């Protein structure tokens, strides 16, 4: 079936109004494939529709999470998520906060603690310090 130029302009105008190809196909009584082909030819600069679930955080929230870590207000992603909720009222899980911080090249991990010095090593250090306390740089 051949599509007339009038039908093509009608399809293009409806597409430019922001309707989906499925809605346009229903209105104009043509297949969705036909509408898609006309869209590719008639509207090459049309923005693609966003897919998937919308993001729960704005770019400002993302910067704020990074700021919390840089300024030392938070030491983990869960602390940063709690601070974000206090400041903005948006509830963000610690996993989401961690993912956002990883995208910004932050490593969300607690600092490992060094083991304490053993009694034996403590005595050996003290003995060394007492034995050589009178040494100077020239010795």
77-118, pLDDT tens digit by residue?
899 999 999 999 999 998 999 999 999 988 756 678 888 889
87 token code pair: 């400041």
Domain parsing of the chain, residue ranges: 5-42, 59-103
More confident residue, 28 or 110: 28
38 token code pair: 């006309």
Confidence of residue 139 (pLDDT cuts 50, 70, 90): low
Q: How far is CA 12 from CA 41, 45, 46, 121, in A?
A: 9, 12, 11, 81
Contacts of residue 41, Cβ cutoff 8 Å, sequence gap at least 6:
none
User: Residue 93 in contact with residue 81, Cβ under 8 Å?
Assistant: yes
């Amino acid at each position: 079936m051949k599509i007339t130029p009038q039908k093509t302009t009608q399809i293009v105008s409806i597409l430019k109004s922001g309707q989906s190809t499925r809605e346009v196909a229903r209105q104009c009584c043509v297949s969705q494939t036909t509408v898609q082909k006309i869209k590719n030819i008639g509207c090459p600069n049309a923005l693609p529709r966003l897919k998937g679930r919308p993001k729960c955080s704005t770019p400002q929230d993302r910067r704020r999470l990074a700021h919390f870590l840089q300024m030392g207000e938070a030491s983990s992603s869960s602390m940063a998520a709690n601070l974000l909720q206090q400041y903005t009222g948006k509830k963000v899980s610690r996993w989401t906060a961690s993912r956002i911080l990883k995208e910004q090249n932050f490593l969300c991990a607690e600092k490992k603690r060094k083991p304490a010095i053993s009694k034996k090593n403590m005595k050996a250090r003290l003995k060394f310090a007492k034995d050589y306390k009178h040494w100077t740089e020239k010795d």
